[in-house]
Amino acid sequence: MFFRLFLLLACVWLARIAPAQTLVPRLILEEDFQDNRRNWPTGVINNAEYKVRRGEYVAKARGNENNTSVALLFIPELEKSQNFIIEAELSTTSAGCLAWGSGSRDNMRLFGTMSEHRFAVCGWRAGKFFSANGDNAYSAAVGRQTSWHTMRIECRGQQVQYFVNGTRVWEQQLTRMLGHGVGLETNLGAEASLRRLRIWLLEPKPEPAAAPAPPAAATEATDAAAALATPLHAGQRLALRNVFFVQGKPELLGSSKPELARLAKALNEQPALRIRLEGHTDNQGPEEKNQLLSEQRARAIQDFLVKYGVAATRLETIGYGSSRPVAANDTEPNRRRNRRVEFVILD
C-alpha cells in the first residue's frame, strides 16, 4: 500500500517538473457568414429563429421566457483534440452567448454578455446547470451592452480560460468535452448575433527541420586532353576542359571543336566502347534552370559526336545541375571548374 502511494506521488511530482509542451495554433475554420455554405442551422429551433444575414449569424428569441435556444454546427476536428481556441464577435440586445459542446444538457457551455455590462459563463454539465457571472467592476472590458464584443475560449486539456475583448475574465476546470459543436444561444426575448468566427487547434510545435547538408564535393575527373592520345578503357572518368559554351546556353563555341573531334576519333578507333556524358553547372541561378542546362549541354556534345560518326547507341547523357561540385562555389575560378562536362567509359 505504501509503495503504491509513493509511486503515485512520484508520478505527480514528475508531471509537475516536466517541461510543458509548446502548443502552437493551427487555423481550421474561418467563418465570415457571407453565405451558408457550411449549412448553419436556420429556421425555428426551440424558442428562437436563426438565419444567416449580411455577414452575421442571427438568433431572435420568440418570447420573453427564460427558455434557452441553441443552434450548433458540428466541427469534426474538435473531436480529436482537447486543446483549441474558439473566437468570435458577439452582439446581443440583452442576453446572448457563444455556445460550444453539445446541444443537450449533458454538456452545453455558454459564454456571453448580459445586461448591466456583465459577462456570463454558464451551461449544463451532466444535466446540472452551472453559472458564473461577472460583476459591474468588469464593465470596462465588456463595454456597452449593444456593441460587438470579442469572445474567446481557450481550452487546454481540462483548463478553460475565457476572454472578453482580450482580457481574461474567468477560468475553470472541466472534464472531457462531450459533443463538438460551436454556435449561438439566445433567450429572454433577445436578439443575438455572431460574426468573424475562427477556430484553432493547439498542436505541438514541430521540431525545426534540419538544414540540408551542403553537397559533397565530387572527385575531380582527369583532364581528357592527354588521355585521348592513348587507348581508352572502362571505368575512366575524364573532364572535357577544352569544351566551351555560350554563357548560360547549351550552344557550343567554335573553340570546342578540336577536343570534341579528338574524342570522336578515339571512339571511332575503339568501336566497342560506350560512354556516358555528364553535364554540370555552378550554383548561380535557379536550380531548375541549372538542371535543364546541364542536361542540354550533355546532349549538345552527343549531337556533335553523332555528326562525327559515333553511333548514338554508344552514347548516354545525364545532367546533374549544381549537385556535384568539384570546388566551392565561392569564387569565379572555382565556379568555372564546376561548369563542366565529363564523360565516363562504361565498357
pLDDT one-digit tens code per residue, 97-134: 999 888 777 788 888 877 656 788 888 877 788 887 65
User: Which amino acid, 108?
Assistant: M
pLDDT band of residue 212 (cuts 50, 70, 90) is low
Q: pLDDT > 70: what percent of the chain?
A: 85
For strands 181-186 and 191-204, give the pairing. Answer: unpaired
Grid cell for residue 13:
511530482
Tell me what pLDDT residue 79 has.
Answer: 83
Q: How far apart are CA 100 and CA 180, in angstroms?
A: 7
In the chain, beta strands by DSSP E = 23-31, 43-45, 48-53, 56-61, 69-74, 83-92, 96-101, 107-114, 118-125, 128-133, 149-156, 159-164, 167-173, 181-186, 191-204, 222-223, 237-239, 275-280, 315-319, 340-345
Q: How far apart are CA 261 and CA 259, in angstroms?
A: 5
pTM for this structure? 0.56
Which residues, 6 or more positions from 324, have their beta carbon under 8 angstroms from its beta carbon? 215, 218, 280
Helices (H), 198-282: 224-227, 257-269
Q: pLDDT > 90: what percent of the chain?
A: 52
Q: Which residue did the predictor score with more confidence, 242 or 2?
A: 242
156 by DSSP, 3-state: which?
strand
Residues in the chain: 347
Q: How far apart are CA 306 and CA 197, in angstroms?
A: 68
pLDDT tens for each residue of 154-194 = 999 889 999 888 888 888 887 666 678 999 999 888 999 99
Which of 149, 157, 117 shows the shortest CA–CA distance to 133?
117
Most confident of the ranges 20-24, 208-212, 284-288? 284-288
Tell me what pLDDT residue 98 has.
Answer: 94
